[in-house]
């Protein structure tokens, strides 16, 4: 049977489900690097009719990896959002996320606005380190798993599913399992399709015609009947643990016959279990061979939530939230209130700054005045577009649940990643009709950026180029807030910091080749920090205007231990610094605040002072301060005629600096980033690798395990070990072949903690230690004080 591709590109207009939010799916594709996310996305676009030809990662011509750096390196660097239709009635907004740990921030910000995820697993590698990480980050979001690369020798569907259960602590619902061709005396079995457990069918794809799928019913005389019966029994039993309706149907209508439960009933039940995060539907395929992608798309619309079934973001106010099929999400019972969040900013060479937003409630209209409740900026929005990777389609409005893009000159200075946007649904300039205290100050909790671990100095080639350099760096940071820039006050040197070597390498590439900045970029060095061992002495001040307050600076540890409910903690930056305000019990309630300067503005001024003072750095080597707290006490007797926030900023900044100066150099410590490293190496290379890790890399080895051995899984939950043992799984025949042909060359997984400074250029080191057979993955674990014997070496090399 030739499966129809649903529409062709030119007909494929913006979301099919304009009026029906229940037919909308906002999903992300997440996984470890190289699992096949982009390859799968490319097939989804083709089979949905969105594209006319299939692009390939290895040829650098996929739709979603459109940056030159992505195409040349064959990896995803930034999340790409694309909109397409499925089954003629469902609209899918899909975000293909990067797998490399250096781009974790891209994944985090995408997950903020997604309602469901497709997790791609490599059937040979199993559940890999970054998959575990992103799975954790996607906690609470319903997920489907796709066991990809079933065509590869060594693929193990059941082994991978078992790992999934134990490592992710989830029950599984096997929607389909792999089907192989019958081996002959001269041919090995090859992966050719799937056994659809729900619909009791076998689907076989035709290698020579990607659109052609052979579909046959599994009858009770079929060789697959017994297998299907066991799988159905297992599926219905798992579903029954959560779904009372299914139990009732199974006993009363199906008369206890697992094969008699109709597919619609099972689908409904899988959806229920998936939305409740009770279990994960699992499918398989080989995207590269175009196998299994259409059933995966069916599963996306059948088993993942619509925006009104998805979890809602956390708001700063506790307002009533209602959902309806017609209006989507309604906040504060106000049908005219639109609430959206910006989650990504890009600079397009033709369209300029583009801000991706997810509309949670109401309708966002082009040309309307909107309010950024995070920054207080009010501005008129330009055109709204929906993106099809790098192709834009203009739309008049974006409704509750939709993802789209704000364009126009006003957005560049007024919206950043993470900001909340408020608008009136109906009136072009209707902000004044919204409630000031509750609606206009409504904020969705922002996206926290992880700390940078590497930096590189950037210098303009000529002095006259400094301004252009600064503009290029701001453009880069606007797009990627996980990059940071700082200027050393003494030397005037500009430092660009990022999440890893690759992250900075890509930033440098973009700076030089995309933004044409005429700059020189220095070598990549570790982003060290400093912290305090003791608290500063107390600074007391009464300003010229009579504003009185006290300040001291403390190590975070001490402040956390002494924390009490009369303190207001404000998170300052990804360096784990805080501003703590001791609340005067007599302080007037916000609503009765009698002063001209609002309380929030005072706090913001103080936050800015803290940032500047902490960035100036410690006394050991001027590294920025980390894990520090500025504690403020005030009687809030502000002169009623005081209107200047700048005055407050100036005083608080000088007081924090003075407080820091009271601490002796010996009471500052240097902190270094420590990385969680996971290595996959062959048994024969393990000795050399371990020697290097514990010697040159100063690593602390946490565990050594056989790959795919889940029995020693560190965080294992006994319940899920038992579930994994009891789960019916078919035998892995390609795995058997792989074991026979490759003997006993089992991979070992080494987990270790290592200072990032010792892991610089580790990719090439590991390549030479293992003759290219090893791989590793590393992510930020935390900051640690540097031991005194290493301080001299660090300072010498810096
Ligand atoms: N044999 C086989 N190879 C595949 C399959 N799917 C993907 N690949 C290959 O795996 C490699 C990685 O594929 P990608 O689609 O770039 O993987 P990714 O997860 O998007 O990678 P990042 O975004 O960089 O993390 C490419 O060489 C693909 O051709 C498959 O089903 N079978």
- Domain limits, the chain: 7-303, 321-440, 454-526, 535-662, 671-797
Average pLDDT, stretch 87-112?
86
307 is in an annotated binding site: no
Q: Whose CA is nearest to atom 9 of ligand 1?
A: 36
Residue 751 contacts by C-beta under 8 Å, 6 or more apart in sequence?
676, 677, 678, 679, 701, 702, 703, 704, 705
Would you say 663 and 536 are in contact if contact means Cβ atoms under 8 Å apart?
A: yes
Q: Which residues pair with 365 in a beta bridge?
A: 397
Q: Is 33 touching ligand 1 by the criterion CB < 6 Å?
A: yes
Dist. CA 118 → ligand 1 center (Å): 15
- Cα separation, 173 vs 237, in Å, equals 10
Of 110-124, 296-310, 627-641, the least confident: 627-641
Q: Whose CA is nearest to atom 5 of ligand 1?
A: 288
The predicted pLDDT at position 328 comes to 85
Q: Is 37 touching ligand 1 by the criterion CB < 6 Å?
A: yes
Alpha helices in 562-683 (DSSP H): 599-616, 645-661
Q: Is 754 touching ligand 1 by the criterion CB < 6 Å?
A: no
Best mutation site among 38, 148, 192 for ligand 1, i.e. most ligand atoms within 8 A of its Cβ? 38
Is the confidence at residue 595, as pLDDT, over 80? Answer: no
Range of 64-78, 389-403, 432-446, 651-665 with top mean pLDDT: 651-665
Q: Whose CA is nearest to atom 12 of ligand 1?
A: 34
Is the confidence at residue 555, as pLDDT, over 70? Answer: yes
Q: Is 104 touching ligand 1 by the criterion CB < 6 Å?
A: no
The predicted pLDDT at position 80 comes to 73
- Cα separation, 409 vs 406, in Å, equals 10
The predicted pLDDT at position 424 comes to 94
594 is in an annotated binding site: no
In angstroms, what CA-CA distances link 254 with 201, 221, 265?
19, 21, 11
This prediction's pTM: 0.84
Q: Residue-wise over 286-324: b if at least 16 C-beta within 10 A, else e?
A: bbbbbbbbbbbbbbbbbbbbbbbebeebebeeebebebe
Is the confidence at residue 585, as pLDDT, over 60? Answer: no
Best mutation site among 288, 290, 734 for ligand 1, i.e. most ligand atoms within 8 A of its Cβ? 288
The predicted pLDDT at position 250 comes to 94
Range of 193-202, 629-638, 758-767 with top mean pLDDT: 193-202
- Cα separation, 577 vs 612, in Å, equals 12
Average pLDDT, stretch 483-507?
85
Average pLDDT, stretch 245-269?
94
Per-residue confidence at 11, pLDDT binned at 50, 70, 90?
very low
Number of H helices, E strands in the chain: 20, 38
Q: Whose CA is nearest to atom 21 of ligand 1?
A: 34
Of 124-128, 305-309, 314-318, 777-781, the least confident: 314-318
- Cα separation, 120 vs 118, in Å, equals 6
Q: Is 34 touching ligand 1 by the criterion CB < 6 Å?
A: yes
Average pLDDT, stretch 203-210?
90
148 is in an annotated binding site: yes
Closest residue by Cα to residue 491 from 311, 646, 672, 621: 621
263 is in an annotated binding site: no
pLDDT above 70 as % of the chain? 90
Range of 143-147, 546-550, 728-732, 758-762 with top mean pLDDT: 143-147
Dist. CA 693 → ligand 1 center (Å): 29
Average pLDDT, stretch 759-767?
89
Would you say 360 and 21 are in contact if contact means Cβ atoms under 8 Å apart?
A: no
Q: Which residues pair with 651 in a beta bridge?
A: none
What distance lies between CA 502 and its chain's CA centroid?
Answer: 18
- Cα separation, 594 vs 639, in Å, equals 10
State the architecture of 454-526 in CATH terms. Answer: 2-Layer Sandwich (3.30)
- Cα separation, 651 vs 787, in Å, equals 36
Is the confidence at residue 352, as pLDDT, over 50? Answer: yes
- Cα separation, 666 vs 672, in Å, equals 17
**3-state DSSP assignment of residue 435:** coil
Q: Name the residue with tokens 């001490």.
A: 558
Average pLDDT, stretch 244-254?
93
Dist. CA 292 → ligand 1 center (Å): 15
335 is in an annotated binding site: no
Question: pLDDT tens digit string along 402-411?
Answer: 999 998 878 8
**3-state DSSP assignment of residue 406:** strand
Dist. CA 71 → ligand 1 center (Å): 13
The sign of the dihedral angle between the CA atoms of 582, 585, 586, 589 is positive
Closest residue by Cα to residue 527 from 466, 628, 656, 615: 615
What ipTM is given for this predicted complex?
0.98
Structure tokens at 67: 């940056």
Average pLDDT, stretch 409-415?
81
Q: Whose CA is nearest to atom 14 of ligand 1?
A: 36
Is the confidence at residue 64, as pLDDT, over 70? Answer: no
State the architecture of 7-303 in CATH terms. Answer: 3-Layer(aba) Sandwich (3.40)
Q: Is 131 touching ligand 1 by the criterion CB < 6 Å?
A: no
Per-residue confidence at 19, pLDDT binned at 50, 70, 90?
low
Of 260-264, 273-277, 379-383, 547-551, the least confident: 547-551
Report the CATH number of the 671-797 domain.
3.30.70.240
Q: Is 36 touching ligand 1 by the criterion CB < 6 Å?
A: yes
Q: How many CB atoms within 10 Å of residue 187?
A: 9
Where does 447-593 show beta strands of DSSP type E? 454-460, 484-487, 494-498, 519-521, 525-526, 529-532, 539-542, 548-555, 567-571, 578-582
Q: Is 12 touching ligand 1 by the criterion CB < 6 Å?
A: no
Pick the CATH number of 321-440 from 2.60.120.620, 3.40.50.2300, 3.20.20.70, 2.40.30.10: 2.40.30.10
- Cα separation, 387 vs 237, in Å, equals 42
Q: Is 147 touching ligand 1 by the criterion CB < 6 Å?
A: no
- DSSP, residue by residue, 28-88: EEE-STTSSHHHHHHHHHHHTTS-SS---GGGT--SS--SHHHHHHTS--S-EEEEEEETT
Average pLDDT, stretch 288-305?
96
98 is in an annotated binding site: yes
- DSSP, residue by residue, 353-402: EEEEEEEEESEEETT-EEEETTT--EEE---EEEEETTEEEEESEEETT-
Q: Whose CA is nearest to atom 13 of ligand 1?
A: 36
Q: Is 75 touching ligand 1 by the criterion CB < 6 Å?
A: yes
Of 64-68, 490-494, 627-631, the least confident: 64-68
Q: How many CB atoms within 10 Å of residue 226?
A: 10
Average pLDDT, stretch 593-614?
83
Would you say 672 and 526 are in contact if contact means Cβ atoms under 8 Å apart?
A: yes
Is the confidence at residue 564, as pLDDT, over 70? Answer: yes
Average pLDDT, stretch 340-367?
88
Q: Is 286 touching ligand 1 by the criterion CB < 6 Å?
A: yes
Dist. CA 773 → ligand 1 center (Å): 18
Q: Is 483 touching ligand 1 by the criterion CB < 6 Å?
A: no
Q: Residue-wise over 696-720: b if at least 16 C-beta within 10 A, else e?
A: ebebeeeeebebbebeebeeeeeeb
Would you say 312 and 321 are in contact if contact means Cβ atoms under 8 Å apart?
A: yes
Q: Are strands 378-380 and 369-372 parallel, antiparallel or unpaired?
A: antiparallel
Dist. CA 40 → ligand 1 center (Å): 8
Q: How many CB atoms within 10 Å of residue 72?
A: 11
The predicted pLDDT at position 8 comes to 32
**Regarding predicted confidence, which is higher, 78 or 207?**
207
**Residue 195, exposed/middle/buried by CB under 10 A (0-12, 13-18, 19+)?**
buried
Pick the CATH number of 535-662 from 3.40.50, 2.40.50, 3.30.230, 2.60.40: 3.30.230
**3-state DSSP assignment of residue 455:** strand
Q: Whose CA is nearest to atom 27 of ligand 1?
A: 58
Is the confidence at residue 630, as pLDDT, over 90? Answer: yes
Per-residue confidence at 17, pLDDT binned at 50, 70, 90?
very low
Q: Is 178 touching ligand 1 by the criterion CB < 6 Å?
A: no
Dist. CA 130 → ligand 1 center (Å): 15
- Cα separation, 577 vs 292, in Å, equals 48
Size (the chain), residues = 798
**Residue 648, exposed/middle/buried by CB under 10 A (0-12, 13-18, 19+)?**
buried
Is the confidence at residue 319, as pLDDT, over 50? Answer: yes
Answer yes or no: same fold for 454-526 and 671-797: yes
Question: pLDDT tens digit string along 165-186?
Answer: 999 999 999 999 999 988 777 7
Residue 76 alpha carbon, nearest atom of ligand 1: 23
The predicted pLDDT at position 66 comes to 67
**Side-chain half-sphere of 649: how many Cα atoms within 13 Å?**
14
Would you say 444 and 339 are in contact if contact means Cβ atoms under 8 Å apart?
A: yes
């Amino acid at each position: 049977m030739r499966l129809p591709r649903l529409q062709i590109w030119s007909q494929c207009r913006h979301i099919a489900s304009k009026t029906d939010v229940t037919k909308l799916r906002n999903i992300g594709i997440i996984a470890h690097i190289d699992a096949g996310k982009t390859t799968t996305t490319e097939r989804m676009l083709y089979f949905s009719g969105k594209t006319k030809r299939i692009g390939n990662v290895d040829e650098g011509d996929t739709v979603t990896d459109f940056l030159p750096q992505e195409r040349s390196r064959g990896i995803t660097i930034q999340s790409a959002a694309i909109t397409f239709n499925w089954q003629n009635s469902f609209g899918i907004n899909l975000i293909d996320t990067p797998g490399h740990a250096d781009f974790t921030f891209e994944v985090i910000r995408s997950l903020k606005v997604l309602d469901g995820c497709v997790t791609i697993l490599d059937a040979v590698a199993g559940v890999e380190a970054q998959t575990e990480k992103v799975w954790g980050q996607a906690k609470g979001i319903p997920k489907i798993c796709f066991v990809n690369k079933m065509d590869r020798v060594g693929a193990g569907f059941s082994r991978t599913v078992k790992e999934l259960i134990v490592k992710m602590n989830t029950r599984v619902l096997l929607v389909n399992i792999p089907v192989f061709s019958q081996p002959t005396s001269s041919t090995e079995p090859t992966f050719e399709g799937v056994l659809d457990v729900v619909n009791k069918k076998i689907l076989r794809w035709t290698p020579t015609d990607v659109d052609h799928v052979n579909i046959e019913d599994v009858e009770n005389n079929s060789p697959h009947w017994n297998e299907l019966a066991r799988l159905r029994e297992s599926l219905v039993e798992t579903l029954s643990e959560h779904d009372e309706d299914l139990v009732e149907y199974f006993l009363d209508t199906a008369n206890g016959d697992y094969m008699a439960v109709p597919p619609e009933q099972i689908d409904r039940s899988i959806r229920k279990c998936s939305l409740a995060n009770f279990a994960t539907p699992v499918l398989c395929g080989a995207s590269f061979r175009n196998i299994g992608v259409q059933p995966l798309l069916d599963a996306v619309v059948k088993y993942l939530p619509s925006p009104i079934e998805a979890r809602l973001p956390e708001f700063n106010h506790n307002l009533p939230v209602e959902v309806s099929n017609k209006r989507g999400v309604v906040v504060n019972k106000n049908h005219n209130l639109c609430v959206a969040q910006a989650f990504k900013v890009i600079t397009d060479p033709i369209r300029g700054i583009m801000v991706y937003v997810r509309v949670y409630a109401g309708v966002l209209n082009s040309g309307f005045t909107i309010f950024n409740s995070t920054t207080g900026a009010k501005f008129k929005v330009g055109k709204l577009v929906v993106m099809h990777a790098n192709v834009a389609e203009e739309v008049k409005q974006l409704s509750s649940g939709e993802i789209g893009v704000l364009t126009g000159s006003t957005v560049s200075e007024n919206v950043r990643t993470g900001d909340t946007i408020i608008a009136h649904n109906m009136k072009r300039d209707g902000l004044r009709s919204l409630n000031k205290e509750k609606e206009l100050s409504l904020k969705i909790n922002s996206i926290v950026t992880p700390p940078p671990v590497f930096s590189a100095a950037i210098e303009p080639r000529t002095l006259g180029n400094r301004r252009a350099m600064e503009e290029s760096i701001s453009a880069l940071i606007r797009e990627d807030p996980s990059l940071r820039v700082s200027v050393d006050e003494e030397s005037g040197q500009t430092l660009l910091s990022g999440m890893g070597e690759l992250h900075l390498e890509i930033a440098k590439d973009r700076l030089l080749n995309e933004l044409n900045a005429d700059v020189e970029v220095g070598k990549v060095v570790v982003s060290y920090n400093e912290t305090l061992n003791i608290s500063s002495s107390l600074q007391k001040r009464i300003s010229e205007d009579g504003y009185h307050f006290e300040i001291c600076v403390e190590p975070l540890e001490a402040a956390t231990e002494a924390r009490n409910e009369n303190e207001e903690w404000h998170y300052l930056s990804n360096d784990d610094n805080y501003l703590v305000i001791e609340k005067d019990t007599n302080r007037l309630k916000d609503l009765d605040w009698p002063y001209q300067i609002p309380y929030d503005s005072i706090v913001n001024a103080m936050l800015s002072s803290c940032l500047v003072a902490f960035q100036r750095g410690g006394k050991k080597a001027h590294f920025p301060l980390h894990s520090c707290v500025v504690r403020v006490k005030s009687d809030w007797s502000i002169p009623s005629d005081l209107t200047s926030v700048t005055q407050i900023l100036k005083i608080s900044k000088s007081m924090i600096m003075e407080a820091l100066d009271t601490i002796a150099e010996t009471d500052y410590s240097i902190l270094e980033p420590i990385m969680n490293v996971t290595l996959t190496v062959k048994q024969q290379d393990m000795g050399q690798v371990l020697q290097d890790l514990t010697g040159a890399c100063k690593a602390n080895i946490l565990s050594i395990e056989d790959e795919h051995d889940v029995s020693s899984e560190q965080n294992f939950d006994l319940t899920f070990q038992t579930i994994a043992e009891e789960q019916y799984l078919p035998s892995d025949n390609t795995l058997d072949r792989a074991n026979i042909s490759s003997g006993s060359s089992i991979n070992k997984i080494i987990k270790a903690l290592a200072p990032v400074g010792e892991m610089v250029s580790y990719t090439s080191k590991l390549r030479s230690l293992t003759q290219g057979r090893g791989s590793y993955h590393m992510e930020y674990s935390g900051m640690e004080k540097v031991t005194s014997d290493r301080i001299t070496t660090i300072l010498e090399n810096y």
